[in-house]
Structure formats: C-alpha cells, structure tokens
Structure 1
Amino acid sequence: MGNATVRAFVVTGPGRAGVRDVPAPVAGAGEVVVDVERAGVCGTDADFFAGDMTYLHTGQAAYPLRIGHEWAGVVSAVGSGVDSGWAGRRVTGDTMLGCGRCARCLGGRQHLCADRYEIGIRNGWPGALATQLPVPVRALHVLPPSVDAVLGALVEPGANAVRAVRAAALSPGDRLLVLGPGTIGLLCAQVAAAAGVEVHLLGREQPTLDFARSLGFRSVWTSASLPALPFDAVIDASGASVLPARAVELVEPGRRVVFIGISGEPSPIDSRELVFKDVTAVGVLSGSGGLEGAIERYASGAVDPRPLVAATVGLDEVADVLAGRRRPEWGAAPKIHVDPRR
C-alpha cells in the first residue's frame, strides 16, 4: 500500500510541467480520497503555469505544484472519524479549506482563514488534475443523480457566479452588465438570467461575443457599441486592469458593482466616484457559500453550463491547454475539462 502511486499533472516551473507518478493519497483523520472523474482547467491554473500567479510571489505557493480545483468524482476511501456512508458517493467540494478554529472560520468566513489551504492552489494541498484527490469531509458536497461529472466539475466556477450575482442584489426585471464573457462572466449571465434579470455582456473579441450570443444572450456589446442604458449592477469578471473603474462609471447611482475578476496588475478605482454615486462595491473570492446554490440550479435545469465546455482532454494534453494551444475544432467555448483516467 505504501508504494501505491497515482498519475498527476505537476508544474515544476514557469512553462514546465508534465504527468508524473506520485504517491497515492491516504485519507487522514476527517478526510476522504476521491477518484477524480472530471476536472476543469481555469485561468488561475494558467497563471501558475506561466509563473504569473500572485501566490508564487507572496510565498503562499511554490513549485512543484499540483494544480486543479474544479472537480467531481467518487469517494473511494474514508479516514478515521469519517462516516463510512461517504464511500461510493458522487461528490464535488470547496476549494477553500480553513483551519476550523480561528475567528474567521468560526464566524463563517473559513474561505478567508489566514492559514487556509486551497486545493491545487495554496500552501501545497494537491490538486485535482490527478486520478485521486484527498479532501476533508467537511468540504464535500453530494451531487444528485441529475448532476453528472461534467456538471459536477462546473459547480466550483458556478458557485463563484452564484455569489457574484447574489452580491449584485438584483430583482427580476433589473438590468445587469457583465464585463468579460469568459467562463465566470457567462456563468454570472446564466445565473442572473435564470432569476429574471435582463443581462447585458461586454467583451472584445468577435468569436467570444458570437459564442455568448449562441447561448441566447442578445445584448452582447463591445466598448464601441455599448448603449447608454442605466445598469442596476455591474459585475467585473474580466481580469482587465481598466475595467473595475469602468464598472463604477457605468453603474447606476445607489446600486452595486461586484469585482470577481482579478487583473495581473493593479486595477485602481477612484473612491470619490463610489462616494459621489453612493455605490456599494463588493469583492468576491471563491465559490465558498455558493456551491449548494450552483448544484441546485444545475440539478433543476435552471442553469445549463454544458455548452461552456469546449473539449475534454487527458492529463497528457494539459500543458498544451495551459500554454494556450487550442485545437481549432474546439471553437470559442471557454472551458476545457480533463478526464484524468484517460
């Protein structure tokens, strides 16, 4: 047992990565081991591969890295103190793993715990681009039968979108502008539309705009074509350094801007604009608190994120995906999934 290994995608430095045999995870106290059926590749993973991710420069992450934090799978082993009924259950889980003891964790803000692990991201917790993944049982969420592995691996990004739309505090009939029609932006648009909100999207590249329209969104704009409408909320899901300030400029006075995109460089806003417009600005970090909401929306069919998945590849193709080498036949859908069993 001690010599068992699993296949995992390992990033060893900027632009350097490959598939390796690594020691198989063992379920510690309060933990399970999950056989990963599907994992998503995210912009954060690409930033780690490129060497740009902030955590690499703050000491919260270091090479070699085992990335991947959007996943679904089946519990194959349980550790001490874990109900044996978890074995065989289909699950996904929270990325953020707080210590469970500090004031933030005890106050419901475990995703902001100073000592937290983040699966595949922070403080060395191994990620889901592997055939097996260790997870604390407290982070697990059960997937109902109608939420398969594809949907299950979209729960984490969907949970981010649920939290962002929730933070926008919109009512049916209100008008939302989403900046950046990538995975999170499109999921925000889908979640908001399912709640009866009038959704507008702002983007740059024609294939991306056309893809957003293919999902049924008619109000898709560029900066040049954006109509002068009052927006009851603006969600910045772009990662562009100039757009947070633009969000404040575009939102109706007295309403909300939500920041969920992260720029690679400082993205300043003028606090005077917030004051003079009486605007509420909200930052959203992670899907913690939104996972059940995403699962419920997928299970009911209120939100169908399947079209966002362009392709599913094996571990051996992940490096190409992270380097931005996409096959033309994949089209403009933003999300790539990985089946580690391939």
Structure 2
Amino acid sequence: MRAAVLTEFGAPLTVREVPGPVAGGGEVVVDVLAACVLPYAAEVFSGERAYPLVPPVVPGTGGVGRVVHAGPDATRLRAGDLVWCDPTVRSRDDALTPDIALQGWSSRGDGGAELARYLHDGSFAERMRVPTENVFPLPAAAGEDPARWAGLVVHAISCGGLLAGGLAAGETLLVSGATGNLGSSAVAVALAMGAGRVVAPGRNQAVLDLLADRFGPRVRPLRLTGEEATDRAAMCAAADGPIDMAIDLLPPRAPSSAVRAAAMSVREYGRVVLMGGVGMLGGDDLALPYPWIMRNSVTVRGQWNCPRTANVGIIRLLASGALDLAPEQVRSFRLDDVNEAIAHAAAHGGPFERTALTPSVR
C-alpha cells in the first residue's frame, strides 16, 4: 500500500510503498477515506513541538474509513462498514491508570511509548490498523463527504473536555481560546450539548463577530486587552451571571496569565478544565492561587484528548444535526499532495477551517 512517511524531523513527508497492515487479535484494518490534517502538524513534523514520534513513521490522527477486516472479538462490525477511527489508544491491562498513546502522533510516559511502538503508524496511508474498541460506526451520510466528517477528531477533543467538566444543559461556559481552531469547536459543541450561554474571549474581532453571527445571542464574544485583572472582570460581566465552567484550549505560545484570567472567572463551586498547550514550549507556570481554589471549592482538572464515550456522543450530535458540519470550510488533498496539505493546514487554522487528506483517492 502507499503511505506518507515522516523519515526524519524537519524533512518533508515521503509518499512510498510500505507493507500493508495485518490485524492481530482485537484489531481492525480499515481503508482510510479521509484523515484530518491538524493546523499544527507542520510544528510536529519539524520537531518544534518535540512530540515523541519515532521516525520512520506514518503520522495521522484517526480518520474516516471502511472496514476491511475485523477480528473475532468484533461481534457487530462487518467488512464494508463506514467507521470513525479514534487515535486515542489505551492499554488494556490496567483499568485504573491505563497508558495512553495517540496513534501516529504522540504518547505519554514509558508505557505510552511502548503502545506507540506497537501501534506505530497513523492514518496518512491507504490502510491502517486500529484497536477494535477505537472503531465507531458512522451514519451513511458520512460516506457522502468523508473529508468533512474527518473533522470529527477536533470536535471529539472538545466534547471530551466538556464531558470531563460535567457541562450540564443551561449552564454558562467560558471557552478560553474561543477564536482558535479547537476553541471555536468547543463553542459549537457546547451549544449542541445544551449550554445556555458561552462566553467567547479572544483578540481577533473578525472571528468574534463570526461566532456571534453563526450562533446568535447564546454566544457572548469579548475582546481581550491582555491585562489579566481587566480581562477577568470583563469575562464575568459578559456572562451576565455566574460562570459555571471554564475550559482552556489555548495554544503553547499563549501566556499563562490568559489561562489564569479565564480560570478565575468561575463561580464558587465552579469547574476548570485544562486541555490546551500553554507551558509546553516554556514560559511561566499557571500559578492559580491556593486560597482561591480552596475557599471557593473550585475543581481544577486536566484532560488529555477524549474518553471513548466522547466519540459516541459527538457522532450522535452530528447524526442528529444538533452539531452542523455544513458551514465548515474543508479543503481536501490526495495522498501525493500531503506536504501541500500540511502547508495549507498551517495557513488555514482558523475557526471551522479543516484540511483533509484522502489517501484512498488516486
């Protein structure tokens, strides 16, 4: 089969013939119809983000595909089924603290690295091998535009963070990083999940206007000044009531003060979910005040990627129409044009902009 291979950091990906995947026990092989190219993929492949990928490797974070072969432990999947392949792989031998790897992308700790060595290759290939529990059936409509549905990887991450924070219908949410690719997804997913109001702070007025136009009065856009105390007060005022939960999805280069301002806007007994990349490239610690967390009974938790349930939830939201993919701008590229796709993704990483690779299309 053909695949796009990262041979070394800093080098363009090379499209070449590689051995096709063979499923072991508890695994599924799929033909990859479409895979999302994330906006920061170029930073990963250059080595700037220092992800623990080990070249040569076929990268790619999940995708939409059709089942070629399912193992004997799959009782419902059949060859030809249209499916979503979740890249978040967990070890099966520790239910309490499973090791985690993002197939074809990253890993956590020694155990995660061991998983990544076994499930080494991702979705930038004509076929991929996936654990059975990471394969989720899709509605037939996804087969009409798999490149659009490949953006599911972004929405599933948002959904995972909102589930982690226990977002309930009618609550007010603040999305730190709302004008970014992932943050804007969180705004859309939160509204689809029933949030009563979403405070959307950011510096890009054009994007703030876009969010307001698309979602109406349930979204409260707010232009940030960069001054922590001023911005925190403005966030609370924009909510026009208590902020139940804040989720941070800011990228690595954002200052920790921006995260702190958003986190400290939540009410007493509020929740804060940290999912962004602040601090990954250095910079100040978050430094949330101990007395504030303790005296206000605030819950602060981290969430890396999403639990399996988030995949089921986001597929249901998409299938029902509660979350609409139609307004998203999608550009598709063939496998041979993978490096062009990576450059396009980097230049078009704004709200609801998606870049997809279509490996099975010649």
Counterpart of 2:138? Answer: 143
Counterpart of 1:38? Answer: 34
2:305 is equivalent to residue 286 of structure 1: yes
2:184 is equivalent to residue 189 of structure 1: no
Displacement after TM superposition at 1:302 (Å): 0.8
Q: How does 1:1-342 map to 2 (within 5 A)?
A: 5-10=1-6, 12-43=8-39, 45-56=41-52, 61-79=53-71, 82=74, 85-102=77-94, 106-107=95-96, 113-114=98-99, 116-122=100-106, 123-124=116-117, 125-148=120-143, 149-150=146-147, 152-180=149-177, 181-194=179-192, 195-217=194-216, 218-224=219-225, 226-229=234-237, 230-239=242-251, 240-242=254-256, 243-263=258-278, 264-266=280-282, 267-272=285-290, 273-289=292-308, 290-323=310-343, 333-340=352-359, 341-342=361-362
Give the gaps of 5 or more residues in structure 2: 107-115, 226-230
Q: Deviations over 1:275-294 (max 9, x none)?
A: 24321112111122311001
Q: Deviations over 1:186-224 (max 9, x none)?
A: 222122212142012122234433443343255222213
Letter in 2 for 1:223: L
Letter in 1 for 2:244: D
Q: 1 CA distance for matches of 2:134 and 2:352?
A: 29
Q: 2 CA distance for matches of 1:69 and 1:161?
A: 15
Q: 2 CA distance for matches of 1:175 and 1:232?
A: 5
3-state DSSP of counterpart to 1:184: helix
**Greater CA drift, 303-312 or 157-166:** 303-312
Counterpart of 2:113? Answer: none
Q: Deviations over 1:25-83 (max 9, x none)?
A: 12223222111111111256333213133433xxxx22223211131110113356555
Change (3 A) 1:316 1:220: farther
Change (3 A) 1:151 1:287: farther
Contact 2:147–2:357 under 8 Å retained in 1: no
Q: Deviations over 1:112-136 (max 9, x none)?
A: x23x443112424211111111112
Contact 2:333–2:357 under 8 Å retained in 1: yes
Letter in 2 for 1:268: L
Change (3 A) 1:173 1:77: closer
**Greater CA drift, 41-50 or 195-204:** 41-50
**Greater CA drift, 68-77 or 155-164:** 155-164
Q: 2 CA distance for matches of 1:298 and 1:167?
A: 20
Contact 2:269–2:297 under 8 Å retained in 1: yes
Contact 1:7–1:22 under 8 Å retained in 2: yes
Displacement after TM superposition at 1:159 (Å): 2.0
3-state DSSP of counterpart to 1:313: strand
Contact 2:39–2:345 under 8 Å retained in 1: no
**Greater CA drift, 63-72 or 77-86:** 77-86
Q: 2 CA distance for matches of 1:269 and 1:22?
A: 47
Letter in 1 for 2:207: T
3-state DSSP of counterpart to 2:186: helix
Q: 2 CA distance for matches of 1:97 and 1:179?
A: 27
3-state DSSP of counterpart to 1:209: helix
Contact 1:11–1:67 under 8 Å retained in 2: no
3-state DSSP of counterpart to 1:286: coil
Contact 1:8–1:131 under 8 Å retained in 2: no
Contact 1:156–1:287 under 8 Å retained in 2: no
Give the length in aligned residue pairs.
325
Displacement after TM superposition at 1:304 (Å): 1.3
Change (3 A) 1:282 1:219: same
Q: 2 CA distance for matches of 1:162 and 1:7?
A: 30
Letter in 2 for 1:18: T
Change (3 A) 1:182 1:308: farther
Q: 2 CA distance for matches of 1:76 and 1:334?
A: 30
**Greater CA drift, 242-251 or 126-135:** 242-251
